[in-house]
Each structure stands twice: as structure tokens, then as C-alpha cells.
Chain A
Amino acid sequence: MIEIIGLKKSFNSKKVLDGVDLAIERGKITVIIGRSGEGKSVLIKHIIGLLRPDSGKILLDSKEITALREREFNELRKHFGMLFQGSALFDSMTVAENVGFPLKEHTGLHDDEVMKVVAEKLHRVGLVGIEGMMPADLSGGMKKRVGLARAIVMDPEIVIFDEPTTGLDPIMADSVAELMLETQRALKTTYIVITHDIQLTYKIADMVAMLHQGKIIAKGTVEDIKKNPNPVLKQFLEGSAEGPIKVY
């Protein structure tokens, strides 16, 4: 269980997180939704230790991780995987080198063993025979898949997805959603997804939480969320310009 308790973060006096409280269950897909610029990325950067909170804490299996020193967090990060919005593949490395990078850094595996694991993970995300290609030669969807293969290559306990479908066409977005479901069901991993893609949310979420003005304003299953009368949540789910959220 990941428990986020009273998490606050400001940048140059601008409050981004204003007391976030959220419990994320193990082995489930939790989707955090919210408008762009509402602090979703800031929230997951706290979970993975890229940012430190001004106040509040995050507990991982009852152990406070926000107080960890950088070296301790580095150890913990080996149990995390992350798929970035733009995939964040290393331009100077081939697909195989990208996917195998965490293995080379943290395990004593020989090159041929690394290549075996890389091929297996690439196969799991539906990519075969592209090990020697460079990231610049891949389409957006393929980059996401390679990014996912890299995120799960160490068999992490928790995988974080930052806008996994942004920039993809609807068919490719659906195929990435299918892939996320398939890998999560197969590996029983905890997936934390931040997105403003409602279709993706409905398709994959076991639990949904909405972040608005620095706070979690609603949480529950997809059915709970659909029934929730909160006008802000309703406007967001309907994708309407009319409502309590003002566009300008």
C-alpha cells in the first residue's frame, strides 16, 4: 500500500499540491486524473523521489519514504519502473541498450543474458526484431512500447505511467491501454497512471482519483466516479467547457 498523507508542495509561492491524501492499493491500477497543470506530474515525482515535499509524507508499506536519503531512495527506485510522457528513451542507445540499461546497471548479468531478457520483454510488449534500431527511427507508439519494456525489465513492484497515451492516435492509444492491462494482469504489478484521457481511465482503472487545485476531490472505482455528483468531476469527465472549471 502506498499512502500519501497531507502532501504539500509549492514552487515560487505557487501552491501546486495543497494537502493531497490518497491510498494506492498494491496489485491494482490506480489512475489519477486531472487537468493539465494541476500537479499530477509533481505528485508522481514525489512518489519516486524526484521531488521532496514541503510538508506531508508518503508511506510505502507503512515505511516513510519521503524522509529517505538520496542513496537510500536510489536503492528503493530499483523496485520502481516509470514510463515517461515522451518515453524518455536514451537517444544515443539502441532499443536493446535502452531496455537492457537498468539490468546492466544493477545486475551482474552477462551481455547474452541481458539480451535474452531484453528480447523477452520486447516480445511481451509486442515488438520483435527491433533491438538494433535507434529511438529516432521509432514511431510514437513503438517508443511507448519500448519505454514500457524498459520500465518492466527489472520486474518492478510498482510502475508509474505519465500520460501514456498522449500524442498517440486513438487506435494506438487503445493498443497501449490493452498492453498495460495485459502486462499488469500477467505481472500483478501496482500501476499508477496519471492521465487526462477519460477513455483510458474507464478501460484500465481499478481505482480513480481526481486531482484538482492541489487536492484529491474524488476517488473510487470507475462506477463510483461515474455516479459522483461533484460538478467539477462531472465537467471533467464530460469534457465540457461549461461548468465550475473556468477555461480562462
Chain B
Amino acid sequence: MRELLERLGKMAGALVTNTGLMALMLFHASIYAFTPPIKFRNIFKQMEFVGVKSLFVVVLTGSFTGMVLAYQSFNALKRFGAESLVGPTVALSMARELGPVLTGLMVSGRAGSAMATELGTMRVTEQIDALHTMGVNPIKHLVVPRILAGVLMLPFLTVITDFVGVVGGYFVGVHLLDINPGVYMGRTMDFVNVEDLFYGLYKSIVFGLIISLTACYHGFYTTGGAEGVGKAATNAVVLGCVLILAFNYLMTSALL
């Protein structure tokens, strides 16, 4: 019993410490983000890494998800004779939930793990210490560009995921399930509006922050050599994904 309580106590202590350090990192990054000189080159480099280099994976994810969604919704809706609602079902699901969530999860797996690995390697090979000794603030130099890239690029990637999802759904609905294209597009336009798109984009901004902050935090405070770098990458992705799903629920319940 005592052992169990000790373990719980240690876990609670670690949770408080980690949350505190992460909040502190975010606080410092927020201040340094607006403190000149702004390192645009570093920011653009990270935006390219998070955004452009994630394009392929989000296009694949979005299109296949849209196609599956069209099949599944067609299968369900035809029982009520409402096959014409496949278009809006796909578009609404993509814009409000699946677009931001799947983009977040995929970017967390691709870019979040890479960020944590890169910063973790820099930590264990003393490159972060080297920045300190040169009078360069590592939070400003390494963390700020990554957090900004996450926050700025996730909405763009989400729009692309939404778009290819809708295109995938259209392809399956119109070309494979023989829904009239005019009906498909007309119904989609009737039921989906710009607010639905923005609803998903608000979420994606938060997910971008979650992905980059958890990755930077775990990478920046890596200890224990190569094994520690591996753990940092795993922890960054696991925590990032769990927080994305949890915050998605919280935001859905708050925004609806």
C-alpha cells in the first residue's frame, strides 16, 4: 500500500514538474517570439519542414479518409434513402473533426517526433550548451521557430486535408457509387458553410501548438544519451497525440 502511494506521489510530482516546465517554456517562447531580432530564416525553415514536407502524408491521409467516409456514410444513409447526403456528411466530418484531428496526429508522428529527436540529439551532443556559451538563447533560437511553425502551418495543412478529403469523397460518391454530381455538390453547398471550416481551423491552431510544444519540451530536456533521445521522440508523439484527442473533445464540447 505504501509503495503504491509512493509511486502515485512520484507520478503526481512528475506531472506537476513537467506541466510547470512546459508552461514556463511556452511563457518564455511567447516573450522571445516578439523580442527582436526576429529570426525569420529559422522560422521559414521550420515552416517548410512542418508544412511543405508534411504535405504528402496529409494528402494521403485526407484522400483515403474522405473516400472511406463516402463508402461508410453511403452504406448508412441508403437505409433511409438519403444517399444524397453523402456529400455534406463527408465535408462536415472532414471540416469539423477529421481534418484537424487526423492532420494533427499525422504531423505529430512525422514532424513532432523529428523535432524531439533533433533537439534531443542537440542536447546530448552539447550543441544546446554550445549555443548558451556563445551567448545565444536556445529557446529563442530553437524553440520559438518550431512553435511558430506548428501554429502557423497546421491550419494550412488542415485546409488541404479537408479539401482532398472532400475530393476523395466526391470521387467515390459520384464515380463509384453513382450519386448525381449536381446533387452531391448542391447538397454539400446547402449544408456546409464557412463557419464549419473555421471551426476546424481554430482546433488546428491549438493542435499545432500542442505538437510543437510537446516535441520541443521533450527534446530540449532530453537526458541519457541515445536511449534518452529515443524516449524523448516516443514521449513527444504519445503525449502530443493524447493531448490532441483530449483537447479535441474539450474544444468540441465548448464550441458546439
B135 / chain A contacts, CB cutoff of 8 Å? 74-78, 102, 105-106
The residues of B that contact A50 with a CB separation of less than 8 Å are 129, 132-133
| Closest-CB distance, A149 to chain B (whole angstroms) | 13
Residues in B whose Cβ lies below 8 Å from that of A60: none
Q: Within the complex, what minimum Cβ distance (angstroms) separates A114 from chain B?
A: 14
CA distance A92 to B133 in the complex (A): 18
Q: What is the total of A-B residue contacts with beta carbons within 8 Å?
A: 52
- Number of B residues near A (Cβ < 8 Å) is 14
Contact at B125–A88, with CB atoms within 8 Å? yes
A82, B136: Cβ atoms closer than 8 Å:
no
A111 within 8 A of B: no
B137 at the interface (CB under 8 A from A): yes
- CB-based nearest A residue for B128: A88
> A78 vs B133: C-alpha distance in the bound complex, in angstroms?
8
Chain A residues with a Cβ closer than 8 Å to the other chain, count = 25
Cβ contact within 8 Å between A91 and B130: no
CA distance A48 to B122 in the complex (A): 19
Contact A86 B126 (CB under 8 A): yes
Contacts of A101 in B (CB 8 A): 134, 136
Is the C-beta of A202 less than 8 angstroms from some C-beta in chain B?
no
Question: Chain A 80-105 against B: per-residue CB contact (8 Å), 1 yes, 0 no?
Answer: 11101110111110000000011001
Where the two chains meet, the residues of A that have a C-beta atom closer than 8 Å to any C-beta of B are: 45, 48-50, 74-78, 80-82, 84-86, 88-92, 101-102, 105-106, 160
The 7 closest A-B pairs by CB, nearest first: A77-B135, A88-B130, A88-B126, A82-B133, A74-B135, A84-B126, A78-B135
Q: Which residues of B contact A (CB under 8 A)?
A: 118, 121-122, 125-127, 129-130, 132-137
Q: Would you list 26 pairs from A and B whose C-beta atoms are within 8 A, ordered by A residue?
A: A48-B133, A50-B132, A50-B133, A75-B135, A76-B135, A77-B134, A78-B135, A80-B133, A81-B133, A82-B133, A84-B129, A84-B130, A86-B125, A88-B126, A88-B127, A89-B127, A91-B121, A91-B122, A91-B125, A91-B127, A92-B118, A101-B136, A102-B134, A102-B136, A105-B135, A106-B134
